[in-house]
């Protein structure tokens, strides 16, 4: 009695702790892509572990301290800047700029090892990315009505305001798609894309160890798009063809995707022969290029 009680400290999280999720719903309402929403919410939730989202200076210090790349720090600034605007918070944006790097371009044999070494669903997605250079979001949203299995044609609804595209599928890929269960409207089901991505990374890590090839760890699902763009340019030497293939509206975007790799200087090829039109057709669908004909036998080759 008569003594002053010790003040109680509150263990309540700051009011801003729910802002990341609320911002995610706001981004969805504003029409942002699911992949963009997921990435920004993840970044904001990481920041809440280090600082109060209502304190812009604390957020700036947190971004500086967290061991992120310059590119991720730039994305963090993008995410927080927009959040701050919606909350009426003044934020003096720090100067982070991502460092431009050439994308990693794997060998086709390395891509094929991932396709052959993963589970049926993952392998089908990877083969689709290899043949069409689709973005993973475009592939993940495919519906059965987007694929004409009889004529082996797939139609993609574009992301990022690019152009819609239609591709002829190989017999191999058509068979892989046909074997998938048809329990959902979507070809690859209604599962979470990020969960699928993590599962792919786990399978990739296991294959890299099994094959003693650490380069496989660098092959993200977006790497398939860079590989196909470079492959198509090398094959056709037509940058406008590559631009249309990728669905780009600006050739500047295409140039960032396409590396001028001199694959013709690579002397390592797989060679196959065909005596009939059907055999030749199968080789072309498998990615082989016609070279010449000797004694009535057509010769084809494909870079390893």
Output the domain CATH number for residue 127. 1.10.443.10
Please check whether residue 260 is in contact with residue 249, taking contact to mean a CB–CB distance below 8 angstroms: no
Whether residues 127 and 242 share a domain: the answer is: yes
Whether residues 128 and 253 share a domain: the answer is: yes
Lowest-pLDDT range, 110-124, 212-226, 284-298?
Answer: 284-298
Give the CA distances from residue 302 to residues 201, 212, 288, in Å, rounded to whole numbers and listed in that order.
28, 24, 5
Nearest alpha carbon to residue 284 among 182, 131, 148: 131
Lowest-pLDDT range, 9-23, 76-90, 262-276?
Answer: 262-276
Q: Is 98 domain-assigned? A: no
Q: Is 52 domain-assigned? A: yes
Q: Is 127 domain-assigned? A: yes
Whether residues 41 and 177 share a domain: the answer is: no
Q: Is 19 domain-assigned? A: yes
User: pLDDT tens-digit profile of 122-153?
Assistant: 999 999 999 999 999 899 999 999 999 999 99
Which helix (DSSP H) or strand (DSSP E) does residue 202 occupy?
helix 193-210
Q: pLDDT at residue 9 above 50? A: no
Whether residues 115 and 236 share a domain: the answer is: yes
Residue 133 has what DSSP assignment? -
Q: Is 3 domain-assigned? A: no
Scored b (16 or more CB within 10 A) or e, 281-294 reads ebbebebbeeeeee
Q: Where on the phi/psi map is residue 223: left (φ > 0), alpha (ψ -120 to 50), or beta?
A: alpha
What's the whole-number mean pLDDT along residues 38-63?
Answer: 92
Q: pLDDT at residue 5 above 60? A: no
Sequence-ordered list of residues with C-beta below 8 angstroms from that of 253, at least 6 positions apart, any chain? 243, 246
Q: Is 94 domain-assigned? A: no
Count, in order, helices (H) and strands (E) of the chain.
Answer: 13, 6
pLDDT of residue 2: 45
User: pLDDT tens-digit profile of 75-126?
Assistant: 999 999 999 999 999 999 888 877 667 778 899 999 999 999 999 999 999 9
The residue range of the domain holding 238 is 108-257
């Amino acid at each position: 009695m008569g003594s002053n009680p010790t003040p109680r400290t509150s263990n309540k999280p700051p009011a801003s702790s729910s802002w990341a999720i609320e911002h995610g719903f706001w981004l969805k309402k504003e029409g942002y892509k699911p992949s963009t929403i997921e990435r920004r919410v993840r970044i904001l939730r990481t920041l809440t572990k280090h600082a109060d989202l209502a304190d812009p200076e604390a957020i700036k210090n947190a971004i500086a301290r967290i061991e992120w790349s310059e590119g991720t720090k730039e994305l963090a600034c993008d995410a927080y800047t927009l959040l701050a605007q919606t909350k009426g918070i003044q934020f003096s944006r720090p100067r982070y700029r991502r460092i431009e790097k050439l994308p990693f371009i794997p060998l086709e044999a390395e891509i094929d090892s991932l396709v052959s070494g993963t589970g049926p669903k993952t392998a089908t997605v990877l083969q689709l990315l290899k043949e069409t250079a689709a973005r993973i979001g475009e592939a993940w949203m495919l519906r059965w009505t987007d694929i004409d299995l009889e004529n082996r044609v797939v139609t993609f609804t574009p992301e990022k305001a690019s152009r819609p595209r239609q591709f002829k599928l190989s017999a191999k890929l058509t068979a892989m798609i046909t074997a998938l269960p048809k329990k959902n409207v979507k070809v690859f089901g209604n599962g979470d894309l990020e969960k699928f991505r993590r599962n792919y990374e786990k399978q990739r890590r296991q294959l890299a160890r099994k094959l003693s090839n650490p380069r496989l760890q660098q092959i993200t699902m977006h790497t398939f798009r860079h590989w196909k763009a470079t492959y198509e340019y090398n094959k056709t030497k037509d940058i406008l063809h590559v631009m249309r293939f990728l669905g780009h509206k600006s050739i500047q975007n295409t140039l960032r995707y396409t590396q001028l790799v001199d694959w013709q200087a690579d002397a390592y090829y797989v060679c196959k022969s065909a005596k009939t039109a059907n055999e030749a057709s199968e080789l072309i669908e498998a990615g082989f290029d016609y070279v010449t004909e000797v004694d009535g036998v057509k010769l084809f080759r494909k870079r390893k």
